[in-house]
Amino acid sequence: MIILGIESSCDETAVGIVRDGNELLANTVLSSMDLHAKYGGVIPEIAARSHIEAIIPVVDQALEQAQLTWDDIDGIAVTYGAGLLGSLLIGVLTARTLAIVHDKPLYAINHVEAHLYVNFITKSQVPEIKPREAQPTFPMLGIIVSGGHSQLVLFQDHFDYVLLGQTQDDAIGEAYDKVAKMIGMPYPGGINVSIMAEKGDVNAYKLPKARLTGKYDFSFSGLKTAVLRLSQQLVGKDHTLPSGALPELLSDDQKRDICASFAQVASETIVDKALLAVEEFQPASVIIGGGVAANTQLRRNLAERLNIPIEYPDMKLCGDNGAMVATLGCFKAMNGAPQADPYTLEVAPSLSM
């Protein structure tokens, strides 16, 4: 079973080809991030336009990388939500057209669910991507940490899962990006905050951890605001100082310590809840997906506190990619999940788990 997966929910035009849900045959990507960086965030119109230009070349490149032709492909999977409307439209319309032209079954993929599915890849024909040693086993606890989502999901089996909890406001990646902006780092700054945090003192400043009524829910908005207030105070100003003025006023030492204190509380927030879920549900595996799964502080915190070892996906498979879409597509096809209608499949920008 060979599935070609198309991902275009945000700024990455990405295609993956996966065999039997465990073997990566191709993973190609073209990002329009450079075009957005100067605006400090993704501009939906620019992203959509870039997808139009990139998508067919990226599909062709994936087939070439896998040394396959359309005759070898058993089905097409495509992200239909969640994401930016215009970006999703390009991927979905391309997949619909390809499914009709090449007469292939079409599978509609939930982006958030797909982030976790890269954990099933245990073989790779793509030299720069290292597969996991073993597939996770059920029941499994899924931790999704990305720029748009922060969720805990309990899977009893494929397609049989419950959402235990999620962020009530900002996603963890969004909080990282906002803190990055406050210290003058370009968008998306999560990785830079993480690098700075390694050089700072985690105990330099006391930042608050949100208390929520939902046992497995998160919140990152208060933490982000606490970083802003702390920074304003450190430079001797009040809450009226715009955050855009902070990068020039904060010292490098202060920036490093802010990052370290923030990264510590942000990762603890996730780990506290993951720990509770492990105690309550005793999963056989814990898996993690999404851009922030690459984060050093979160990985360290999980290793220190969770009594269950976590095998991580390759860094290149943490952020948005086509392999995750193709992998989930394989499991759908292998389990006889319903196919999407290539003449009517619509996008679902606010789809959730």
Q: Are 117 and 134 in contact (CB under 8 A)?
A: no
How many whole angstroms separate alpha carbon 140 and alpha carbon 137?
Answer: 6
Q: Binding string, 234-273, against ligand KG4, x = CB under 6 A?
A: ----------------------------------------
| Least CB distance to Zn ion at residue 115 (A) | 6
How far apart are the two ends of the chain, measured CA to CA in Å? Answer: 25
Tell me which of 86, 290, 313, 329 binds ligand KG4, using CB under 6 A. Answer: 290
What would the two tokens of residue 25 be? Answer: 């045959």
Q: Could you say which residues in the range 90-109 bind ligand KG4, by CB under 6 A?
A: none
Site membership for ligand KG4, residue 295 (CB under 6 A): yes
Is the CB of 11 or the CB of 320 nearer to Zn ion? 320
For 303, counting Cβ atoms within 10 Å of its Cβ (0-12 exposed, 13-18 middle, 19+ buried), the class is: exposed
Region 286-325 residues binding Zn ion, contact defined as CB under 5 A: 320
CB closer to ligand KG4, 23 vs 177:
177
130-149 residues near ligand KG4, rule: CB under 6 A: 146-148
Number of residues that bind Zn ion (CB under 5 A): 2
Does 13 contact Zn ion by CB under 5 A? no
Show contacts with Zn ion in window 120-149 (CB under 5 A).
146
CA 203 centroid distance within chain? 28
26 touches 325 (CB < 8 A): no
- The candidate with the shortest Cα–Cα distance to 23, out of 66, 71, 77, 64, is 66
Position 174 contacts Zn ion (CB under 5 A): no
Number of residues that bind ligand KG4 (CB under 6 A): 19
In angstroms, the CA 75 to CA 102 distance is: 9
What 231-239 contacts at long range (C-beta under 8 Å, 24+ apart), as own/partner pairs, is 231/182, 231/183, 231/258, 234/258
**177 is in the binding site of which of ligand KG4, Zn ion, none (Cβ under 5 to 8 A by kind)?**
ligand KG4
CB nearer to ligand KG4: pick between 107 and 187: 187
SS3 40: coil
Alpha-carbon span 240 to 233, nearest angstrom: 11
CA separation for the pair 107, 339 (Å, rounded): 5
Tell me how far, at minimum, the Cβ of 298 lies from ligand KG4, in Å.
7
The secondary element (H helix, E strand) that includes residue 276 is helix 252-281
* String marking each residue 145-164 x if it binds Zn ion according to CB under 5 A: -x------------------
- The reply to whether 291 sits near ligand KG4 by the rule CB under 6 A is yes
Question: Distance between CA 174 and CA 8 in Å, rounded?
Answer: 19
Q: How far is the CB of 95 from ligand KG4 (least distance, A)?
A: 18
Which residues in 51-182 belong to E strands, given as ranges? 75-81, 106-110, 123-124, 140-145, 150-157, 160-166
Give one DSSP letter per residue of 117-131, joined into a string: HGGG--EESSTT-PP
Which member of 292, 302, 323, 351 binds ligand KG4 (CB under 6 A)?
292
Chosen residue from 177, 179, 301, 314 binding ligand KG4 by CB under 6 A: 177
The interface partner of residue 13, options being ligand KG4, Zn ion, none and the CB cut-off 5 to 8 Å by kind, is none
Q: Does residue 177 bind Zn ion (CB under 5 A)?
A: no
8-67: contacts with ligand KG4 (CB under 6 A): 10
**Binding ligand KG4 by CB under 6 A: which of 16, 131, 142, 188?**
188
Could you give the CA distance from residue 228 to residue 242 in angstroms, rounded to a whole number? 9
Chain residues in the site for ligand KG4 (CB under 6 A): 10, 146-148, 173-174, 176-177, 188, 190-191, 194, 290-292, 294-295, 319-320
The binding site for Zn ion (CB under 5 A) comprises: 146, 320
